[in-house]
């Protein structure tokens, strides 16, 4: 008789670490959180929240820090603005505001008092996440995918359980965390390890870890004793490597494309790509870009 494997615990919560300084995009980030910078017509963070909701996430946990108040304001109601738009009959603009508002109690904000690293930021969410699996979503990585990247991962998680991370092929593995595959079934890869920024000739694959993770709560215990690693920061990947000795890890080569908004050219690329993909403005954006390039080349 086939043994019946218990269904994995449902995925309900996502942690979004937003406490970094965003030094690579200064001076824009001097007074505005990096995650609130505009990608075409909305803050970068809105795309990540939409991705989470499309995967059935019910509760979002933001790990914030100093000077990040704009994030809380953005996801709150704006009564004066709403009343003013209402009075002027600006219903289309009123509707635009709705995407940022979640039901009361469906978001938590926890403070990371110092930017000690991504691993430390995730650890700060431990009491709110509790004893259940959760997603980690790096908000400076924007995924253009249908279904959403996290939704594709959640579907895999329901089948394989354990820990699931998103990966994507890259020409420059030396710039990223890269996985070591053990075996592969379609787009799902059983992992045996991962390497941070390997030398190109030593990279165990060309698949980089692109900023979406589904993790089991045991990671918190490991994070609490994690020593600083690369850059003197408490690294999430170091604790993941330890968790891999105890639990299964799968990588999903998801269908879609990652836009790394961590630096200025990455932001520009994401702006162009999301403008071109916009159903209302895409054609106009393409025309404008072609015209600008022609004028530039003259």
Q: Which of 145, 141, 138 lies closest to 277 in space, CA to CA?
A: 145
Judged by CB under 6 A, does residue 266 bind ligand UTP?
A: no
Closest approach of Cβ 261 to ligand UTP, in Å? 9
Residue from 11, 14, 15, 19 binding ligand UTP (CB under 6 A): 19
Among 14, 49, 61, 63, binds ligand UTP (CB under 6 A): 63
CB-wise, 89 or 231, nearer to ligand UTP?
Answer: 231
Q: Tell me the window of 12-20, 100-108, 128-136, 156-164 that interacts with ligand UTP (CB under 6 A).
A: 12-20
**DSSP label of 228:** P
Q: Smaller CB distance to ligand UTP: residue 60 or 156?
A: 60
Structure tokens at 259: 């836009």
Task: Compute the 3-state secondary structure of the chain and give helix, strand, coil in percent, each to the nearest 5.
Answer: 40, 25, 40
119 CB burial (10 A radius; 0-12, 13-18, 19+): buried
Query: Whose CA is closest to 65, among 117, 13, 107?
Result: 117
The correct pick among 53, 129, 138, 285 for binding ligand UTP (CB under 6 A) is 138
Query: Which listed residue (14, 17, 157, 215) binds ligand UTP by CB under 6 A?
Result: 17
Contact 154, 11 (CB under 8 A): yes
15: three-class secondary structure by DSSP: strand
Task: Give the interface size with ligand UTP as a residue count (CB under 6 A).
Answer: 21
A 10 A CB-CB count for 11 gives 22
Residues at the interface with ligand UTP (CB under 6 A): 17-24, 34, 63, 112, 115-118, 120-121, 138-140, 262
């Amino acid at each position: 008789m086939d043994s019946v494997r218990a269904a994995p615990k449902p995925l309900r919560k996502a942690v979004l670490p937003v406490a970094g300084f965003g030094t690579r995009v200064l001076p824009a980030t001097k007074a505005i959180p990096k995650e609130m910078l505009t990608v075409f017509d909305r803050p970068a963070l809105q795309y990540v929240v939409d991705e989470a909701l499309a995967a059935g996430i019910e509760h979002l946990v933001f790990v914030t820090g100093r000077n990040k108040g704009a994030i809380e304001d953005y996801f709150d109601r704006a009564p004066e603005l709403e009343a003013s738009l209402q009075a002027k009959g600006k219903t289309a603009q009123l509707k635009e505001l709705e995407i940022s508002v979640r039901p009361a109690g469906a978001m938590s904000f926890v403070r990371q008092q110092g930017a000690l690293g991504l691993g430390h930021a995730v650890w700060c969410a431990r009491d709110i996440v509790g004893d259940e699996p959760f997603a980690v979503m790096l908000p400076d990585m924007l995924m253009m995918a249908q279904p959403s990247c996290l939704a594709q991962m959640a579907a895999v998680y329901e089948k394989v359980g354990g820990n699931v991370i998103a990966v994507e092929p890259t020409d420059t593995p030396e710039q990223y965390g890269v996985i070591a595959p053990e075996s592969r079934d379609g787009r799902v890869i059983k992992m045996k390890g991962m390497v941070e920024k390997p030398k190109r000739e030593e990279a165990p694959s060309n698949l980089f870890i692109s900023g979406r993770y589904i993790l089991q709560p045991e990671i918190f215990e490991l994070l609490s004793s994690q020593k600083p690693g690369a850059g003197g920061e408490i690294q999430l990947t170091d604790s993941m490597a330890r968790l891999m000795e105890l639990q299964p890890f799968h990588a999903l080569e998801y269908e879609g494309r990652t836009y790394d908004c961590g630096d200025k050219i990455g932001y520009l690329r994401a702006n162009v790509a999301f403008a071109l993909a916009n159903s209302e403005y895409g054609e106009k954006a393409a025309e404008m870009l072609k015209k600008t390039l022609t004028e530039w080349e003259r």
